Amino acid sequence: MAYKITLIHGDGIGPEVSRAAQMCVDAASERFGFDVDWEEMPAGEEAGKRYGSVLPEETLKSVRENKVALKGPITTPIGSGFRSVNVDLRQKLDLFANVRPAKLIPGVESRYSDVDLIVIRENTEDLYAGIEFDEGTKATSDLISFAEKNTGKRIRKDSAISLKPISIFGSRRIAKFAFDYAKANKRKKVTAVHKANIMKYSDGLFLKSVQDVAKKYPSIGFEDRIVDNMCMQLVIKPELYDVLVCPNLYGDIVSDLCSGLVGGLGVAPSANIGEKYAVFEPIHGSAPKHAGKDEANPTACILSAVMMLEYIGEKKAAAALEKAVVEVIRKGKKVTYDLNQRRHVGTGEMTKEIVREMGGSA
C-alpha cells in the first residue's frame, strides 16, 4: 500500500518537529510494509516571503488531492498582520472537528495521576469565523447603529467588533461527531461546554443542538458545564470527565488547559477532521524562542502522526509508534528539556531514540 501525504513544515520549531514526525512515520512504514510519498508544501511566514502568499493555492490543492496532511505549527502575528493560516486552512477545507486528546503518559511530570480526556472542538464557527470590524471604519459605525436600533443597547463609538456566528448545522454536526467518536472509542460520557447563561442565543443554540443530538445516543452519558466552572472542575477533578464537546473558542482554551494537566504543550497532539480531508498537527504553536535550537519536544507532532496513521488505517504502525513514544518518555533518559529538567537531550536525539525503540534504524 502507498500513501501520498501532504507535509507542511510550518514556522519556528515547526520544521524540527515535523521532520521528527516524518522520520518516525518513515520508520514505521518500513517496519509495517507500506510506503509514504511525502509532498512537501509551503505555508506560513516563510511561504509568504518566498511565494507571496502565506497559504498558497498549490498547498490547498495538494491537501485536496492527497486528502491527508501532516502539519507543523504556523506563526500568526498578534493584533495586526495576516490572519491565521491555521484558521484559514481549517475553514477552506471545512475541517470542522478538532480532536485534542489529553492523556497522561507515565513518566511525564504532572500534578495528576489519572487524566484521559478528549476535547472535541468545533473548528469553523464562533469568534474564530474571522468576521471582524475595525474601530473607526464606516462598516463598524453602520453595524453599531444597526445593533443599537435593534437591541436598544448602547455600544461605545470607539469599539471594534467581532461576530460570533454559531449555527444549528455546525453545532449538530460537531455534536454528532463527538457522540460517534465516544461510541467508536468506547467512551462513556460527553460533556457540552458553553456559556449559555450569558450568551443565550449563540451558546444557547449550541447547547440545545447538542442536547437534541444526545437523545439519539442513549448508551452514552451526557451532561453540560458552563465554561468557567468547567475550567475549575478540570483542574480539581479531571478524572470525572471523558469527552468534552466545545464551540471553537472555549475548545481552544480548554484544550490548552487539558494539555497542562498532562505535561504541557510539548506532548499534546491533534487532528482536524472534515468530511473529505484531515490535517494532523500538534496543538502547540511555533514557539519562536526555541526555534532552530534542537530543543523542542517532538512528542506532540509525533503523536499527531500516530493519529494520522490510525486515520489512514495503519493501526499496527500507529500502535507501535505510540508505544515507542510512551516507552521513551517512561524511561525518561532521552527526552527533551520540558520532560526532564536535570537530564535531557535534543529534538533529534529523542526522535532517534523513539525510532530505535520501535525497532527501526535511526
Quote the CA–CA distance of 180 and 245 in Å, as a whole number: 12
Quote the CA–CA distance of 50 and 54 in Å, as a whole number: 9
Q: Which of 6, 29, 86, 202 binds ligand NAD (CB under 6 A)?
A: 86
In the bound state with ligand NAD, the residue whose beta carbon lies nearer, of 15 and 73, is 73
| By the rule CB under 6 A, 287 interacts with ligand NAD | yes
Restricted to residues 14-53, the positions that interact with ligand NAD (CB under 6 A) are 17
Q: Give the active site residues.
A: 128, 195, 228, 252
Angle at 339 between CA 68 and CA 43, to 5 degrees: 30
| By the rule CB under 6 A, 73 interacts with ligand NAD | yes
In the bound state with ligand NAD, the residue whose beta carbon lies nearer, of 178 and 287, is 287
**Could you give the maximum distance between any two Cα atoms of the chain, in Å?**
69
Q: What is the 8-class DSSP label of residue 239?
A: G
Taking the complex as a whole, the smallest distance from the CB of residue 56 to ligand NAD amounts, in Å, to 16
Quote the CA–CA distance of 240 and 234 in Å, as a whole number: 8
Q: Which stretch binds ligand NAD (CB under 6 A): 139-147, 271-279, 286-294, 302-310?
A: 286-294
Who's near 84: CB < 8 A, 6+ residues apart?
74, 76, 130
| By the rule CB under 6 A, 149 interacts with ligand NAD | no
Q: Which of 75, 140, 171, 304 binds ligand NAD (CB under 6 A)?
A: 75
Q: What is the 8-class DSSP label of residue 128?
A: G
| By the rule CB under 6 A, 297 interacts with ligand NAD | yes
In the bound state with ligand NAD, the residue whose beta carbon lies nearer, of 204 and 285, is 285
In the bound state with ligand NAD, the residue whose beta carbon lies nearer, of 67 and 284, is 284
Beta-strand pair 278-282/269-273:
antiparallel
Quote the CA–CA distance of 171 and 175 in Å, as a whole number: 6
C-alpha cell belonging to residue 268? 499534546
Q: Is 37 exposed, middle or buried (0-12, 13-18, 19+ CB in 10 A)?
A: exposed
Q: Which of 166, 300, 317, 350 binds ligand NAD (CB under 6 A)?
A: 300
In the bound state with ligand NAD, the residue whose beta carbon lies nearer, of 220 and 282, is 282
| By the rule CB under 6 A, 124 interacts with ligand NAD | no
| By the rule CB under 6 A, 338 interacts with ligand NAD | yes
Angle at 238 between CA 234 and CA 244, to 5 degrees: 70
Summarize as ranges the residues that interact with ligand NAD (CB under 6 A): 13, 17, 73-76, 86, 265-266, 281, 284-287, 289, 296-297, 300, 338
